[in-house]
A and B are shown apart, each in its own frame.
Chain A
Amino acid sequence: MRWRFVARRLAMLLISLLVASFVIFAAVYLAPGNPIAALSGGRSLPPSSVRILEQRYHLNAPFFGQYWYWLDNVLHGNLGISITLRENVSTLIASRIWTTAGLVLYSALLIVVFGIGMGLVAGLRPGVLDTSTVVVTAISAAIPAFVAAIVLILVFAVKLGWFPAIGNGTGLADNIRHLTLPAFALAISSLAIVARVTRASVRGEGEREHVQTAVSRGIPRRQVIRRHVLRNAAIPITTVAGITIASLIAVAAVVETAFSLNGLGAYLVQAAQSKDLAVVQGISLLLVSAFVIVNLIVDMLYSVLDPRVTLGSRAA
Chain B
Amino acid sequence: MSTGIPTAIEAPRFRALTSVRATGIVGIASGIILAAATFAAIFGPLLAPYDPELPNLSLAWIGPTGGHLLGFDVQGRDVLSRLLVGAQTSMLGPLVVVIVSVVTGSLLAVVAAWRRGAADAAISSGLDILFAFPGILLAVLATAVFGAGLPAAAIALSLAYMPYVARVLRGAAYRERSQPYVAALEVQGASATSICLRHLIPNMLPLIVAQATILFGYAMVDLAAISFLGLGVQPPRPDWGVMISENQTGIVQGYPLPALSAGVCIVAVVIAVNVLGERLFEQAEAGRR
Given contacts A31-B145, A199-B16, contact A15 B133 (CB under 8 A): no
Interface window among B38-46, B201-209, B223-231, B280-288:
B223-231
Report B107-127 residues with CB < 8 Å from chain A CB. 125
CB-CB contacts of B135-153 with A at 8 A, as 1s and 0s?
A: 1110011011110100000
CB-CB contacts of B248-273 with A at 8 A, as 1s and 0s?
A: 10011000100110010011001100
Say yes or no for A52: interface residue by CB 8 A criterion: no
Residue pair A165, B252 in contact (C-beta under 8 Å): yes
Total contacting residues, chain A, CB less than 8 A: 71
Q: Which chain B residues border A164 with CB–CB below 8 Å?
A: none
Q: Which chain B residues border A1 with CB–CB below 8 Å?
A: none
Q: How many whole Å from B101's CB to the nearest CB in chain A?
A: 17
CB-CB contacts of A90-113 with B at 8 A, as 1s and 0s?
A: 000000000000000000000000
Interface SS, B side: helix
Q: Which chain B residues border A154 with CB–CB below 8 Å?
A: 251, 256, 260
User: Which of A32, A272, A316 sits near B231, CB closer than 8 Å?
Assistant: A272
Residue pair B8, A239 in contact (C-beta under 8 Å): yes
Residue of B nearest to A289 (CB): B132
Residue of A nearest to B135 (CB): A250
Report A227-260 residues with CB < 8 Å from chain B CB. 236, 239-240, 243-244, 246-247, 249-251, 253-254, 257-258
Residue pair A190, B140 in contact (C-beta under 8 Å): no
Residue of B nearest to A38 (CB): B145
Q: Which chain A residues border B146 with CB–CB below 8 Å?
A: 30-32
Q: Which chain A residues border B141 with CB–CB below 8 Å?
A: 24, 27, 272, 280, 284
Expressed in whole angstroms, the Cα–Cα distance for A243 and B7 within the complex equals: 8
Interface window among B17-25, B55-63, B92-100, B185-193:
B17-25
Expressed in whole angstroms, the Cα–Cα distance for A255 and B158 within the complex equals: 22
CB-CB contacts of A254-292 with B at 8 A, as 1s and 0s?
A: 100110000000001101110101001000100110011
User: Which of A28, A139, A189, A277 sits near B4, CB closer than 8 Å?
Assistant: A189
Residue pair B263, A316 in contact (C-beta under 8 Å): no
User: Which of B7, B148, B244, B271 sits near A315, CB closer than 8 Å?
Assistant: B7
CB-CB contacts of B208-233 with A at 8 A, as 1s and 0s?
A: 00000000010001001100111100
Q: Which chain A residues border B19 with CB–CB below 8 Å?
A: 134, 200
Residue of A nearest to B160 (CB): A250
Residue pair A145, B260 in contact (C-beta under 8 Å): no
Residue pair B145, A287 in contact (C-beta under 8 Å): no
Q: How many whole Å from B146's CB to the nearest CB in chain A?
A: 7
Q: Which chain A residues border B231 with CB–CB below 8 Å?
A: 269, 272-273
Expressed in whole angstroms, the Cα–Cα distance for A34 and B9 within the complex equals: 44
Q: Which chain A residues border B16 with CB–CB below 8 Å?
A: 196-197, 199-201
Q: Which chain B residues border A143 with CB–CB below 8 Å?
A: 267
Say yes or no for B88: interface residue by CB 8 A criterion: no
Say yes or no for B183: interface residue by CB 8 A criterion: no
Say yes or no for B2: interface residue by CB 8 A criterion: yes
Report, nearest first, the 9 A-B pairs whose CB atoms are least far apart: A200-B16, A250-B134, A272-B144, A147-B263, A142-B270, A247-B3, A144-B221, A142-B271, A280-B144
A residues with CB within 8 A of B: 12, 15-17, 19-20, 23-24, 27-28, 30-32, 38, 134-135, 138-139, 141-147, 150-151, 153-154, 158, 165, 189-190, 193, 196-197, 199-201, 204, 236, 239-240, 243-244, 246-247, 249-251, 253-254, 257-258, 268-269, 271-273, 275, 277, 280, 284, 287-288, 291-292, 295, 302, 315-316
Q: List 23 A-B contacts (CB under 8 A).
A: A16-B129, A20-B133, A134-B18, A144-B266, A144-B267, A144-B270, A146-B225, A146-B244, A147-B244, A154-B251, A189-B1, A190-B4, A196-B16, A200-B13, A250-B137, A251-B2, A253-B229, A254-B229, A272-B140, A280-B144, A292-B132, A315-B8, A316-B7
